[in-house]
Amino acid sequence: MKIITCYKLVPEEQDISIAANGSLDTNKASLKINPFDLCAVEAGVQLKSLLGDSNITAMSIGGKALENPKSRKDILSRGPDDLTVVVDEKFEHLLPHQTARVLMAAAQKSGFDLIICGDGSGDLYAQQVGLQLGELLGIANINAVSKIIAAEQDKITVERSLDDEVEVLEISLPAVISVSADINEPTIPSMKTILAAAKKPVTSLGATDLELTEFPALVELTSVIAPKQKARQNFIIDGDDEQQLTEFAEHLRKALN
């Protein structure tokens, strides 16, 4: 089976700080593979071990960051056989409906039976790319896949964990599935897989290598800003003698009433 697993590089959210004007400062935040996408890659690796005779291509669309050898090694150390990146300055901050259109062109060029995406990404968390990609390709697509139960050449059987129930679905291939974060616990790369990653083939494409039509600007991002905070009392008791403890307990009691 020919499997594509898609991933996005996102800033490490633990290292993002908020500037005085409410804007996000990502300067100290290094880029990492979106955690949902690590689950997608792991799902691909597990599927391959289930099926044997398969090839996994990791795929990403974005700006110059994708040219960084370290980030390429990082994704390849997770188990894919090869990597395809599509790099162009104008792909730096794509919105989901645009990403889906570029991925469509790239996936068509490389060929596939199954595309695996994460349910969302840690930055905008739009939760749309896999579904829109499948819909644009005119093939079966579904989100919230929490388990791959079985796979044959022309179909896969998956569990889908929903808010109120679990569905077991047979999906005919080709298809795109988006997996939830609880589908697996991604394997941490070993020294061996990290070394092996350096030898895996990488295909680097530009926008001109793909048959892209103009993007419709269906949606535009107008601002990203820290939420306004509620004014707080900021009544702080400095010390924990008996009287101060009683006073604090009284505030808790009042809040509970």
Partner 1 sequence: MSKLSNIWVFSDIASRLPEMIAAGAALGEKVSAFIIGTESEITAAYTLGATNVYYLGEKDSQKITEDYSHTIAQVIAANSENSLVLLAPTKRGKALASKLGVQLQAGVVNDVTEINVENGVHAKHMAYGGLAIAEEKINSQIAIMTLSSGLYEALPVDPSSTGEAVNVTFVEPTTSITCVERRAKQGESVDLGKAKRVIGVGSGIGSQENLQVANELAALMGAELGCSRPIAETEKWMERERYIGVSGVMLKPEVYLALGISGQIQHMVGALGSQTILAVNKDKNAPIFQYADYGIVGDINKVMPALISALKA
Give residues 113-172 in contact with partner 1 (rule: CB under 8 A).
Answer: 122-128, 131-132, 135-136, 138-144, 157, 160-172
- The correct pick among 55, 65, 97, 109 for binding partner 1 (CB under 8 A) is 97
Query: Degrees (nearest 5) of the Cα angle 182, 66, 220?
Result: 75
Peptide bond into 174 cis (omega under 30): yes
Write down the least CB distance from residue 216 to partner 1, Å.
6
Neighbouring C-alpha atoms within 13 Å toward the C-beta of 187: 18
Name the residue nearer to partner 1 (CB basis): 89 or 154.
Answer: 154
Task: Specify whether the CB–CB gap between 123 and 131 falls below 8 A.
Answer: no
Contact status: 19 vs partner 1 (CB under 8 A):
no
Write down the least CB distance from residue 177 to partner 1, Å.
10
Contact characters 179-218, partner 1, x per CB under 8 A: -------------------------------------xxx
Write down the least CB distance from residue 251 to partner 1, Å.
4
- The correct pick among 20, 188, 191, 236 for binding partner 1 (CB under 8 A) is 236
Write down the least CB distance from residue 66 to partner 1, Å.
20
Which helix H or strand E contains 112, and what residues bound it? none
Task: Put residue 242 in one of left, alpha, beta given phi > 0 → left and psi -120 to 50 → alpha.
Answer: alpha
Write down the least CB distance from residue 244 to partner 1, Å.
7
Which helix H or strand E contains 10, and what residues bound it? strand 9-11
Stretch in the footprint of partner 1 (CB under 8 A) among 9-17, 39-47, 59-67, 79-87? 9-17
Write down the least CB distance from residue 195 to partner 1, Å.
28
Residue 140 C-alpha from the chain's centroid: 20
Pairwise CA distance, residues 212 & 156, whole Å: 30
Size of the site for partner 1 (CB under 8 A): 79
Name the residue nearer to partner 1 (CB basis): 75 or 136.
Answer: 136
Token reading at 69: 């050898």
Pairwise CA distance, residues 145 & 226, whole Å: 31
Name the residue nearer to partner 1 (CB basis): 139 or 202.
Answer: 139
Write down the least CB distance from residue 179 to partner 1, Å.
12
Pairwise CA distance, residues 203 & 200, whole Å: 10
Pairwise CA distance, residues 39 & 194, whole Å: 18
Name the residue nearer to partner 1 (CB basis): 208 or 233.
Answer: 233
What is the DSSP pairing of strand 55-62 with strand 24-25? unpaired
